[in-house]
């Protein structure tokens, strides 16, 4: 048996905020595709189907589980948007310095949470 180099795996890499941001980007994108799109289509369909269908949507969306889903979808949107903008910057070739990359990654994760909180505060308070 020959000694061959091992493939990198999670036991080799030191966990960092850039890894969390990358994983959350994938999770939020999947959440938008598998939960956000059906909710959006259900909302649009209920709007097109008349007042009774829309009231049915509002009753379910306004319930505790419905609100949890809507907050989760809005977090997924803002988080995916923030980390997507980070990826645009990285695609240009900027932001690869270790301290910059970590700082921007933490800002992306924080901005997803902050933008979601501001969004829901605006909806619920105004």
Binding site residues for heme, as ranges? 80
Q: Give CA–CA dist 15/110, Å, rounded.
A: 18
In the chain, how long is the greatest CA-to-CA distance? 71
The annotation places the binding site at: 80
Q: What is the CA radius of gyration of the chain?
A: 20
Q: For residue 116, give the nearest of 83, 74, 86 by alpha carbon.
A: 74
Q: Give CA–CA dist 68/116, Å, rounded.
A: 12
Cα 90–chain centre separation: 18
């Amino acid at each position: 048996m020959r000694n061959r180099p091992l493939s990198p795996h999670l036991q080799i890499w030191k966990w960092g905020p850039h890894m969390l941001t990358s994983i959350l980007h994938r999770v939020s994108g999947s959440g938008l595709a598998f939960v956000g799109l059906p909710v959006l289509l259900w909302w649009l369909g209920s709007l097109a189907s008349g007042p009774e269908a829309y009231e049915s949507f509002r009753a379910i969306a306004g319930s505790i589980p419905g609100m949890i889903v809507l907050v989760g979808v809005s977090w997924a949107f803002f988080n995916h948007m923030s980390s997507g903008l980070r990826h645009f910057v990285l695609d240009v070739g900027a932001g690869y310095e270790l301290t910059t990359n970590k700082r921007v990654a933490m800002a992306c994760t924080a901005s997803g949470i902050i933008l979601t909180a501001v969004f829901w505060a605006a909806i619920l308070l105004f």
